[in-house]
């Protein structure tokens, strides 16, 4: 697929250890620019730990990793400038209005004031939130909050956006609409790194990486994985892989 320059995330034997416990055990993978990369695993498989390292929130124990071309050991500040992040909690301020949330997140990423206004308006229009602009986010329905949270996470035009189980708690229809936004972002050149445990979501990804007990057990496109494991759905693939897990999910 693409040249070395196109690799937005590179992990080489990346390990994160707590005492004797290897939360992430020597994982290797690469993510290409503009790709939607799914990170699958049971609870406790090491998804979140790996993601925290890649987001510059913690240091790896050993191995190497680059995000947007920056090293996770000594260029965390640079990494943070080039990534966006959204968690299952949506990360918007409920008692701030839609517009204030946009202004705030634009502000802490250092987007110039004029730029925030211009792009903020465009965003409001594209989401169809003109009437709700001055409403408190707490009053919006869940699906809208989620879309807004995603749009805010990529407002500063990062190279990569990390989504940590972004569609928790919403129905499949809303999830679908949400994925349309993800596709749009990917088409615009933003790489999407998404953790999930919804298998219908896994099918939407370009490539899937399955983590079991902190190790990469499978990595390929959904259709390839299905044929390798002779399965009809991603659910089945996942089940076959996760069965071998020794760690209990918590």
Partner 1 sequence: MKQLFAFIQKEFYHVFRDKRTLLILFGMPVVQILLFGFALNSEVKNIGVAVLDNARDAASQQLISRISSSRYFHLMEPLLSYDEVENRFRSGKISCVIILPSRFGNLLYQDEGAPIQIIADASDPNTATTVNHYLNTILQQHVQEMNAVLPAAFNIIIETRHLYNEEQNGSLNFIPGVIALIFMIVSTALTSVAVVREKESGTMEVLLVSPFKPFMVLIAKAIPYLVLSLIDFIVILLLALFLLDVAIKGSLLLIFVESLLFIITCLSLGLLISNVTNSQQAAMMLSMAGMMLPTILLTGFMFPLENMPGFFQVLSYAVPSKYYYSIIKTVMLKGLGIAYVWKETLVLVGMSAILLSLALKRFNIRLS
Residue 174, Cβ density class (10 Å: 0-12 exposed, 13-18 middle, ≥19 buried): middle
Is residue 104 near partner 1 by the rule CB under 8 A?
A: yes
Is residue 53 near partner 1 by the rule CB under 8 A?
A: no
Is residue 115 near partner 1 by the rule CB under 8 A?
A: no
What minimum distance in Å lies between the beta carbon of 231 and partner 1?
34
Is residue 209 near partner 1 by the rule CB under 8 A?
A: no
Identify which of residues 90 and 204 has a Cβ nearer to partner 1 in the complex: 90
Buried b (16+ CB within 10 A) or exposed e, 99-130: bbbbbebbeebebeeeebeebbeebbeebebe
CA distances from 156 to 35, 142, 150 (A): 19, 23, 12
User: Given the rule CB under 8 A, which of 36-44, 81-89, 210-218, 242-250 is the region that contacts partner 1?
Assistant: 81-89
Is residue 135 near partner 1 by the rule CB under 8 A?
A: no
What minimum distance in Å lies between the beta carbon of 168 and partner 1?
11
Is residue 89 near partner 1 by the rule CB under 8 A?
A: yes
State the distance between the two ends of the chain, measured CA to CA, in whole angstroms.
Answer: 37
Cβ neighbours of residue 157 closer than 8 Å, sequence gap 6 or more: 190
User: Which residues of this protein are in contact with partner 1, per CB under 8 A?
Assistant: 55-59, 77, 80-81, 83, 85-96, 100, 103-110, 113, 136, 153, 162
């Amino acid at each position: 697929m693409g040249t070395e320059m196109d690799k937005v995330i590179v992990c080489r034997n990346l390990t994160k250890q707590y005492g004797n416990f290897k939360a992430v055990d020597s994982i290797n993978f690469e993510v290409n620019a503009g790709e939607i990369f799914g990170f699958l695993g049971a609870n406790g498989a090491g998804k979140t730990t790996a993601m925290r390292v890649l987001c510059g929130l913690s240091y790896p124990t050993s191995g190497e990793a680059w995000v947007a071309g920056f090293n996770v050991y000594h260029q965390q500040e640079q990494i943070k400038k080039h990534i966006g992040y959204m968690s299952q909690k949506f990360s918007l301020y409920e008692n701030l209005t839609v517009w204030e949330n946009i202004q705030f997140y634009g502000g802490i990423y250092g987007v110039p004031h004029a730029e925030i206004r211009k792009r903020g308006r465009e965003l409001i229009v594209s989401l169809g939130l003109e009437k709700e602009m001055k409403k408190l986010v707490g009053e919006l329905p869940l699906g809208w909050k989620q879309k807004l949270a995603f749009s805010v996470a990529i407002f500063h035009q990062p190279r990569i956006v990390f989504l940590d189980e972004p569609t928790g708690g919403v129905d499949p229809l809303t999830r679908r609409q949400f994925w349309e936004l993800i596709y749009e972002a990917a088409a615009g050149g933003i790489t999407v790194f998404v953790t999930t445990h919804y298998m219908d979501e896994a099918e939407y990804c370009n490539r899937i990486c399955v983590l079991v007990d902190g190790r990469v057990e499978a990595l390929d496109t959904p259709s390839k994985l299905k044929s390798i494991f002779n399965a009809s759905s991603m659910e089945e693939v996942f089940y076959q892989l996760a069965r071998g897990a020794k760690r209990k999910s918590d």
